[in-house]
Amino acid sequence: MRFFLMMLLVLPVIEIWLLIVIGDEIGVLPVIAWLILAAIIGINLIRYLGVATMISINQQLRRGEAPAQAVVGGMMMGVAGVLLVIPGLISDVIAVALLIPPLRRGLLNRWLRNMRAKTAHYQGNVYDVEAETPPPVEPEKIGRTLEREFRRDDKN
């Protein structure tokens, strides 16, 4: 936790310093254009990959699979999009690294292994339940209307 808090304090200072150094080397306008372009890419990435992730999760749930990889992969791509929106070189490099599929899969597999290792010592009852077909709808309940009194409170 201390490392995370320390990075929250140190990382913006390093980001600003790098932007100043790079702006001094290549000019201010290219750096500003790069930051605007990265933000636009990040916003579009969040928008389009969010929808793609939801579709992937839905497909995995329909097949009866646990959508852990789709959820965590979508989360990583969402983090990459947010990092692209945040101005800075280090955040952009981390975002691009998260967008590289082999690297993302490696990080995902490592994270899932760690999660399994941390939760392996918990025990409980596990029941295998087969998917049952829903009970047939009784004909008398189709289209049944409930009667009730109501009062309209809006004024004309």
Give whole-number Cα distances, 21 to 30, 34, 90, in Å. 13, 14, 13
Of 49, 41, 129, nearest to 91 (Cα)? 41
**In 3D, which of 70, 68, 98, 67 has the Cα closest to residue 82?**
98
Instruction: Using the predicted structure, report yes or no on whether residue 132 has a pLDDT greater than 60.
Output: no
Give me the residue spans of the domains in the chain: 12-118
List, for residues 15-54, the tens digit of each pLDDT value: 889 989 999 999 889 999 998 999 898 888 888 887 888 8
pTM as predicted: 0.62
